[in-house]
Amino acid sequence: MDRLRKAFDNLKPRFSSGGKYEKWWVIFDVIENFFYSSSRRTFGLLHIRDSSDVQRIMVTVMAATIPAVIYGMYNIGFQALSGAAEGGGKFTEDWHFIFINLVCNYEISEGAFVTTILFALCCPPDVPLWQVAVGISFGIVIGKEIFGGTGKNFLNPALTGRVFLYFAYPTYWSGDSVWTALDGYSSPTILGIGAQEGLNGIQVNYSWFEAFVGSIPGSAGETSTLFILLGLLLLLWTRVASWRIVIGVLIGTLATSILFNSIGSDTNPMFSVTFIWHIVIGGYAFGLVFMAVEPVTGSHTNPGRWIYGILIGIMVVLIRVINPAFPEGMMLAILFANLFSPLIDHYVKESNIKKRLKIQANYE
């Protein structure tokens, strides 16, 4: 490791201000901070949980998104070509995702950079780029910086930007019910089909395996549960993600979906969608892996993480099933849980204090 440290030290002047590769400093800084902690220190207590620093955590999250990014770019092109074969005309190239990310991307901290990546991945492929600029600006400024920056925000900034666009421009952000990748050609997503025809309608158009792999219409980074799970493995291995939140979300989703399946409905087709379908459609997997487990806005106590995860799992099914006008529910479910996260942790800590006082009283 001493040789690696020496190699970084030798290369740093070339990437620093005035160096030959000055414009590539951000990339060099990200790679260096993946292996070594930054010499910069925070003087608050917000981030001091263990030996990991914020930069390394954010770089790990960026690395975890790579499988979803690569597959998302491929899938946009694949779906557009499929549409071209069926409907004719020009098709939107998968490079549109890169343009979306370029609108979001400028020299900023790792925390804000991760926000731009996650925001771009949950955007529809045909979203107007000016809306991308408005949404990411709103998410970072109103969702994060206005509260003091990374570590002090209580809402996920990427989801804050996305939900702002959904309510500000509903004709473009219709809950992922329509996916357009071609001039004059559009197709409904699985959630759109489910809202209209239920589970039977979904199975007529797509197999569960297609939905799991991601060869379906949808936002750039949300379609492939398989490639998103690859990122989850990295986040769990590095302990950036909490397995308690992951299991809690799955438990909440399973219990609520079984409840609605058993009740059934003659007027609402979404009652028929089962647990195994809920986890592979829409933004469920993406939200679970990259949004729900986000260490700043989620619960920080272990019992609280269970409650927080179960709350998200319950809410995502409730929103998807009870509100057919908005079939995608993961975004709002996570933001709803973000609001309750401090309250959950407060009562967990109060419970711990009472237990400690009771034990102390028994000893006395």
Which of the four pLDDT bands, split at 50, 70 and 90, describes residue 214?
confident
User: What's the CA gap between 286 and 134, in Å, rounded?
Assistant: 22
| Averaged pLDDT of the chain | 78
* pLDDT at site 340: 93
User: What's the CA gap between 173 and 328, in Å, rounded?
Assistant: 11
Backbone angles phi, psi at 106, to 5 degrees: -150, 175
The domains located in the chain, with CATH, are 1-35 (no CATH), 49-357+359-363 (1.10.3430)
- Which residue has tokens 């950036």? 240
* pLDDT at site 83: 52
pLDDT in tens, 116-171: 888 888 887 777 888 888 888 888 888 887 877 666 778 888 888 888 888 887 76
Q: Which of 300, 349, 340, 304 is nearest to 155 (CA)?
A: 340
Phi-psi bin for 264: left (phi > 0), alpha (psi -120 to 50), beta?
left
> 350: helix, coil or strand?
helix
Q: And the tokens for 237?
A: 């291995």
Residue 199, classified by CB atoms within 10 Å of its CB into exposed (0-12), middle (13-18) or buried (19+), is middle
Alpha helices in the chain (DSSP H): 2-15, 25-35, 54-87, 96-104, 110-121, 129-141, 157-168, 190-205, 208-213, 225-237, 243-263, 275-278, 284-286, 302-322, 330-363
In sequence order, the β-bridge partners of residue 178 are 188
* pLDDT at site 182: 40
* Chain centroid to CA 345: 22
User: What's the CA gap between 1 and 117, in Å, rounded?
Assistant: 30
Say what percent of the chain tops pLDDT 90.
24
User: What's the CA gap between 319 and 313, in Å, rounded?
Assistant: 10
> 178: helix, coil or strand?
strand
Which comes out higher in pLDDT, residue 144 or 293? Answer: 293
What is the DSSP track for 281-301?
STTHHHIIIIIIT-TTTS--S
* pLDDT at site 243: 94
Which of the four pLDDT bands, split at 50, 70 and 90, describes residue 276?
very high
What's the pTM? 0.78
Which of the four pLDDT bands, split at 50, 70 and 90, describes residue 288?
very high
User: What's the CA gap between 161 and 142, in Å, rounded?
Assistant: 9
* pLDDT at site 225: 92
Q: What is the mean pLDDT of residues 200-205?
A: 86
pLDDT tops 80 at residue 246 = yes
CA atoms within 13 A on the CB side of 167: 8
Which comes out higher in pLDDT, residue 205 or 183? Answer: 205
Say what percent of the chain tops pLDDT 70.
76
Backbone angles phi, psi at 310, to 5 degrees: -65, -40
pLDDT in tens, 96-113: 455 555 555 445 566 677
- Which residue has tokens 């102390």? 360
